[in-house]
Amino acid sequence: MKTHPKILTSLAILVVSALLAPGITRSVKASSLRETAAVRAVRRIAPSVVNIRSEKTVAADSVLYATRTGQKVSGMGTGVVVDRRGYIVTNYHVIAGVDWLRVTLSDGGVHTARVISFDRKADLAIIKVDAGHALPEMPLGTSSDLMLAETVFAVGNAYGYEDTVTCGILSALHREVEVNDKQTYHNLIQTDASINPGNSGGPLINLEGDVVGINVAIRAGAQRIGFAIPIDDARRVIAKLLAVDRLTQTWHGIQTKDDKQGPRRRLLVTGVDANSPAASVGLKQGDVILRSGKQTVIDAADLERSLLDHKPGTQVELAILRDGKTVAKGLVLGTRKAASTAQVPSADTQTWKAIGLKFEVVKRQQLQEQHGSKVLEHYRGGLKVTGVRKDGPAASHGIQQGDVLVGLHEWETVNMENVRWVLDHPELRTFNPVKFYVLRGRETLFGHIPIQSDAR
């Protein structure tokens, strides 16, 4: 009897399907085993990791350059979101001397970023993007209970390959690493998780997906020797970089200390400034700050970022743990006052002596009207030059009346306090002459200006 070819084919399919069915079933069941702790950890951190691209100009020693000329050098790095409003921590060396920064978020959105503050010695910086929506904040871990050989992952923009994940262990703790004669790191984490150029500023996470370090350096010529700043150390620096008295001249007067040891993570009040808002509300040594407004407080970085959008005179509700009981305190924020008008000259006088310029504040909308809508992508405002001292540093380095100063070194200049902060910076000598950026017409120009440190 002959079998019809189509029937034979159908029978073959049935036989093969029957043979493969058990394997298919096992494959489906096995797929659940693929979702390991490592997969869950990386999935947890991924939304808060950002990729950073930058460009800086390497120029000759002339007095003034347009940013569209000169040799351009591209840079890359990584950051991690520390606050939902767009504040991101990265390494200082990622943003040092750049002409622009662009950040790619986990949702694919690309945004121009601006530098808020930095600590050169600690090699940490805060940048900010205005994404128009809340960003996922990093899952915060602690470096107080790290264990040698525990599994860790580095996430970042390695060699420009965005969102690269590498796996390793904690190889050592408390490393002292000298990169060059200007940069030495202390108390670093060593790991054999591959850290490459572009990983700088990204998170080192544990198997729970918590950030335990900020990746910072590699050992040149070595394989699988990388380093990260312990997250507890980084958070103390972040608190200073986000301090409201530094960024907005808002004053609370609370002296604190992070207390972290494994699962115990809290912010202790160690004292209050005399005649400060904290003193007025009755805060005292030994209090534990549990909440500030709607923000749960784990450390000083949480406290400072909870106050960022509050102006002097506004009241913030604090939840305090005192003698085993939770107490509510209504903290009314104040304004940071200068030591004395006799000792500290006005910002206008100081600026005239230091660089030979007088300014008036220009708001963002005015910039758009006078210099084109494109400036809104980069600048929130600036200082229009209304006077130039003939024998001053600014005049000899190309700045003209009518220019708008939009930046000094790594900081934006939207008011006179921004300028004063640069003039009074304790590390001014390390970046003097200071790089400046001015708007002239529709061009951004830059140069370097020596600041007279004895101007006070």
Domain boundaries, the chain: 44-129, 151-234, 247-335, 347-449
Active-site residue, selected from the candidate residues 123, 233, 287, 299:
123
Q: Is 123 a catalytic residue?
A: yes
Return the minimum-mean-pLDDT range out of 19-28, 34-43, 224-233. Answer: 19-28
Q: Between these two residues, 342 and 149, which has the higher pLDDT value? A: 149
Q: Which CATH class is domain 247-335?
A: mainly beta
Q: What is the pLDDT of residue 347?
A: 61
Active-site residue, selected from the candidate residues 48, 54, 200, 292:
200
Mean pLDDT for the chain overall? 85
pLDDT bin (cut points 50, 70, 90) of residue 350 is: confident
13 pLDDT more than 50? no
Q: Which two tokens stand for residue 313?
A: 């005179």
pLDDT bin (cut points 50, 70, 90) of residue 259 is: very high
216 pLDDT more than 90? yes
Domains 44-129 and 151-234 share a fold: yes
Q: Which CATH fold would you assign to the domain 44-129?
A: Thrombin, subunit H (2.40.10)
Q: Highest-confidence range of 61-65, 152-156, 369-373, 445-449, by mean pLDDT?
A: 152-156
181 pLDDT more than 80? no
155 pLDDT more than 50? yes
Q: What is the pLDDT of residue 451?
A: 83
DSSP 333-388: -EEPPPS-TTTS--HHHHHHHHT-EEEEEEEHHHHHHHH-GGGGGT-SEEEEEEEE
Give the residue-averaged pLDDT of 143-167. Answer: 96
Contact 187, 195 (CB under 8 A): no
- Superfamily the domain 347-449 falls into: PDZ domain (2.30.42.10)
Give the residue-averaged pLDDT of 148-174. Answer: 96
158 pLDDT more than 80? yes
pLDDT bin (cut points 50, 70, 90) of residue 346 is: low
84 pLDDT more than 60? yes
53 pLDDT more than 90? yes
∠ CA 417-419-424 to the nearest 5 degrees?
90
Q: What is the pLDDT of residue 318?
A: 98
**pTM passes above 0.95:** no
- My answer on whether omega of the bond before 345 falls inside 30° of 0, hence cis, is no
pLDDT in tens, 88-103: 999 999 998 888 899 9
Among residues of the chain, what percentage have pLDDT more than 90? 57
174 pLDDT more than 50? yes
28 pLDDT more than 50? no
Q: What is the pLDDT of residue 380?
A: 76
CATH 3.30.2040.10 fits 151-234, yes or no: no
381 pLDDT more than 60? yes
Q: Is 130 a catalytic residue?
A: no
9 pLDDT more than 90? no
The DSSP output letter for 81 is E
391 pLDDT more than 90? no
Q: What is the pLDDT of residue 20?
A: 44
40 pLDDT more than 90? yes
Cα 265 to Cα 143, 272, 300, 302, 447, distances in angstroms: 11, 21, 11, 12, 46
Contact 41, 193 (CB under 8 A): no
Q: What is the pLDDT of residue 67?
A: 47
Crossing angle (nearest 10°) for helices 416-423 and 347-354: 50
Q: Which two tokens stand for residue 243?
A: 């301090």
Active-site residue, selected from the candidate residues 93, 252, 371, 397:
93
Q: Between these two residues, 69 and 184, which has the higher pLDDT value? A: 184
